[in-house]
Amino acid sequence: MGINKEFSSLEQVIGAYRTKLGTLPETQFATTPPIGGWSASEVYSHIFDASLLSLKALEECLEGRGANRSTPFVTKVILFFGAFPPGVRFKTPKVLEGRVKVITKVEAAEMIAQFEQQLAVNRLKVAQANPEVKTKHPRLGYLNASQWLRFIGIHLKHHLKQLKRVEKSF
């Protein structure tokens, strides 16, 4: 997928998060679902916090502050197919686990807006990024700027499915 299509896909999935945010009642938003796990609030907290951190890693690549390391084959497969393997559940990296918190719908909307702002800042720069400059993802190994962009989209879509499961459980 080309850079412009990646950005277009990200805009669509962000729109889906915004729409879902508008439809969830505030009381349900912060409530642990009957199926257990994270509330919708915690999912929003995680996904947009992680996406902002991923953008920082992408920016490090753009600024040339990375390493010339190889990307693991399994990561290349995930990026190629645009999804995590079906049925595989990844545990949140410890570095991110403690950052997940219950937030309000207003805070979630602010995080979405902040993410969109940062994404727009980097839109024109990603296509010119050196593909050899990579920074380390806690689970997937070294990614370059365009791979980080692809990962962000995959991660957002993955958690959108989680939100649908949470919503259906009520």
Q: Across the strands, what pairs with 134?
A: 67
Cα 63 from chain centroid (whole Å): 21
Query: What was the pLDDT predicted at 32?
Result: 93
Residue 70 has what pLDDT?
Answer: 94
Enter the DSSP assignment of 84. Answer: P
pLDDT attached to residue 41: 96
Structure tokens at 146: 């365009």
| Cα gap 70→68, rounded to integer Å | 7
d(CA 21, CA 39): 12
Domain of 120, in residue numbers: 3-168
Poorest-pLDDT segment among 24-38, 41-55, 89-103: 89-103
Please give the backbone phi and psi of residue 135, each rounded to the nearest 5 degrees, phi first: -120, 160
> In this predicted structure, what is the pLDDT of residue 1?
64
- Mean pLDDT, the chain, rounded, equals 92
User: CATH number of the domain that 26 lies in?
Assistant: 1.20.120.450
Q: How many domains does the chain have?
A: 1
